[in-house]
Structure 1
Amino acid sequence: MKVEVSFCKQLLTQDLFHWKKEKKNLHRKKKCFKSKRSRAKKMSQGNEHQNKVIVLFDGYSEVINDSKMLANCTCTLVKGKNTCTIVDTRTAWDGKQIVDELPKHGLSTDDITHVVCTHGHSDHVGCNYLFLNAKEHIVGRGISNKNEYRSIEDETNYPIDDGIYITPTPGHTLDSISLIVENSDLSSKPVAICGDLYEKREDCFHELIWVGAGSDSIDIQKKNRLRIAEMAGVIVPGHGPKFEVTAEILAKLKEQ
């Protein structure tokens, strides 16, 4: 009887030893798997940069009477993989507001690499002087750095960064441009920062709003409005808050 008990204890001890060993091996494998999965996730995140579109100030426009109106443009910040772009710098009297706003997004005026103005009207270029460290100032299709000048060719896209580029969108003025931002935090489709190609969301339903704001070519502007709406998920207009491009908006634009 004593021999049988001793033998059973020995078997139990061996089983317990093997069980602990297997448990230890299983724990090691799980730890290794988690580590590999974590590294793979970090690598994936590192390869998928998301461009950030931040509207610093919403634009507006309001007719006071036949000879007077109030207006200022929408001002937008785009953080790319290698660049920081400010789009439409408002009037010359808005410098302090822009300087005070940028630190809220971890930036100063010296961190801006590109200044993009959708066209050359005074309410869109007023604070360009703040960004003298920028590599390029782009006003309409004109590109400058200090006293060097060149231009964006007709119907040619101009790259700024990964998934960020300028496309000509004449109409409001014949040299008007839009900044297109792909892979953004706002939409799965591109974001179009398009200045006065669109005044505001309401002009998708009331054509007289954008025509009344001035157009160097109504026909060309109509074509470009539809082209941008068909490609974009979100539009940042020249004088109003950003808006999503809906099926209703597309249908209205096709009617105009």
Structure 2
Amino acid sequence: MEGEGYIVTILRRGEHAPHENGVKKKCSTVLLRGPSGCMVVNPGSVWDGPNLISSLKAVGVSNPETEVTCVICTDGRAENVGCMSLFHNADMMIVGYDIQKRGDIFLEHDFGDGIVPYEFDEHEIMALLAWPFTTTATRANWNGQLDHCGITGILRGYVVC
């Protein structure tokens, strides 16, 4: 699959809307398939598990619990990280700037400057970058801090996170 890039599938579009009891939030959930395997970006809240597994199976990931090799949460908000434990067989979990591999091994990577990406594969097809915001609300209040991560590279399709 070298040089082919990653196939991007939007499993769920996010939403952010007023609700009588607060604000309804759901993150966009994305599946990336490529040289480094199947990766789920922002798997959703703890209550999204059954729908996430169904969505993955519907797009050809027949055994999500074992086929997903990496889970990426662009930040640590509850609507992003709740389903991480569904993928306990994954080789890597990333939350914001924390990169954890199986066996409680944490990789050191300096995302602080927003320039040096974390590269997922030897082909340099996809990388994780520091990113200052994900929503219009945080863009309006941006204080110069890089507090989210974003994915860049040779992606066939598009990502909305």
1:82–1:149 CA distance, 2 compared to 1 (3 A): closer
In structure 2, what is the Cα distance between the partners aligned to 1:149 and 1:137?
10
Residues 5 and 126 in structure 2, CA contact (< 8 A), matched pair in contact too: no
1:64–1:103 CA distance, 2 compared to 1 (3 A): closer
Deviations 1:109-162 (A, max 9, x none): 211111111000000111000111111100000011342223430232001134
Q: Which has the higher contact order (CA 8 A, sep 6+)?
A: 2
Query: RMSD across aligned C-alpha pairs, in angstroms?
Result: 2.1
Which secondary structure state, in structure 2, belongs to the residue aligned with residue 113 of structure 1?
strand
Candidates 48, 56, 61, aligned match of 2:16: 61
In structure 2, what is the Cα distance between the partners aligned to 1:167 and 1:131?
23
**Letter in structure 1 aligned against 2:19:** I
Aligned to 1:70: 24
In structure 1, what is the Cα distance between the partners aligned to 2:82 and 2:120?
22
Residues 89 and 124 in structure 1, CA contact (< 8 A), matched pair in contact too: yes
1:140–1:151 CA distance, 2 compared to 1 (3 A): farther
Residues 64 and 70 in structure 1, CA contact (< 8 A), matched pair in contact too: yes
Deviations 1:76-123 (A, max 9, x none): 000012321110011000001111111222212211111111000000
Runs of at least 5 residues in structure 2 that lack an aligned partner in the other structure: 139-144
Aligned to 1:51: 6
Q: Equivalent pairs: percent with the same residue? A: 24
Aligned to 1:85: 39
Aligned to 1:140: 96
Runs of at least 5 residues in structure 1 that lack an aligned partner in the other structure: 1-45, 194-235, 238-256
Aligned to 2:130: 168
User: Could you state the TM-score of these two structures normalised by the residue count of structure 2?
Assistant: 0.79
1:121-140 aligned at under 5 Å gives the runs 121-140=77-96
Q: Which one has the bigger helix percentage? A: 1
User: Could you state the TM-score of these two structures normalised by the residue count of structure 1?
Assistant: 0.51
Which structure has the bigger radius of gyration? 1
In structure 2, what is the Cα distance between the partners aligned to 1:47 and 1:78?
15
